[in-house]
Amino acid sequence: MVGTVIVGGGKSSRFNGDKIFYKVFDFPLIYYSVFPFLKCKLVDKIVVVLNREKIHEGKLIFKDFDKVIEIVEGGEERKYSVLNGLLSLKKIGNIDKVLIHDGARPNIKIELIEKIVSEIEEEACVIPVVPVIESLKYIQNKNFIKTLEREKIFITQTPQGFPFNKLLYLLKKHINEKLYDDSMVFEKEGLLIKIVDGDIDNIKVTYKSDILKVADFIERNENWYRL
């Protein structure tokens, strides 16, 4: 079976408000981030991770969707939230593949989800990336400046796909280390990280201005949000 953990327990400090529950048309942002996984036939079970005070509200939003098996509390950092989600999935057993997705990425397309699921291997994870299109500078102490080769630099998106047991084992092993994304535990072990083309529409909502892009995407694809 394929499980999914949707991580929505962040602090939203740059958004100046709770972006996960910010209303876009009739539904909060988290609804749109989860819905494509509800609709994807390859996904069997979903766990949504939220801040403690939002768990009840989350349960109300997803109470009619059997595929959402639990709403769990997030941790102080993303890695702890992901671990809580994985442990929830582990309780049902038989999960062999898992997707980890940002709750602040509502413009995810089912085609990308399916592509990532199909590429997961027993010892290999899968990450979607998009190329950097602007010039990049490495700046140290505002004195040392170096231009980076952007052809070798990519922006990582989610969902990222993993063999379930391997991710759970490695996340526990490296839980006390600095982790910028979930695939870093595979990177630390020298395991294969497979790359697939991401999607420029698949933005992570960070600022309130990003909501305009989300609203435009939903309006253009409103039929996608119906079961």
The domain in which residue 139 lies consists of 2-225
pLDDT tens digits for 123-166? 999 999 999 999 998 898 877 889 989 899 999 999 999 999 99
pLDDT tens digits for 51-68? 999 999 999 999 999 999
pLDDT tens digits for 81-101? 999 999 999 998 899 999 999
- 82: Cβ contacts below 8 Å, ≥ 6 apart: 5, 7, 49, 100, 171, 182
pLDDT tens digits for 9-54? 766 566 677 899 999 998 999 999 999 999 999 999 999 999 999 9
- CATH number of the domain where residue 48 is located: 3.90.550.10
Distance in angstroms (rounded) separating the CA atoms of residues 223 and 218: 9
Question: What does the block give as tokens for 207?
Answer: 């600022």
Q: Give residue 203's Cα distance to chain centre.
A: 11
pLDDT tens digits for 214-225? 999 999 988 887
Report the range out of 5-9, 80-84, 204-208 with the highest average pLDDT.
80-84
pLDDT tens digits for 181-192? 999 999 999 999
**pLDDT score for 215:** 94
Question: Nearest to residue 20, comparing CAs of 35, 39, 7?
Answer: 7
Q: Rounded mean pLDDT of 168-180?
A: 97
**pLDDT score for 219:** 92
How many folded domains does the chain comprise? Answer: 1
**pLDDT score for 17:** 73
**pLDDT score for 144:** 82
Under the banding of pLDDT at 50, 70 and 90, the label for residue 120 is very high
Residue 197 has pLDDT above 70, yes or no: yes
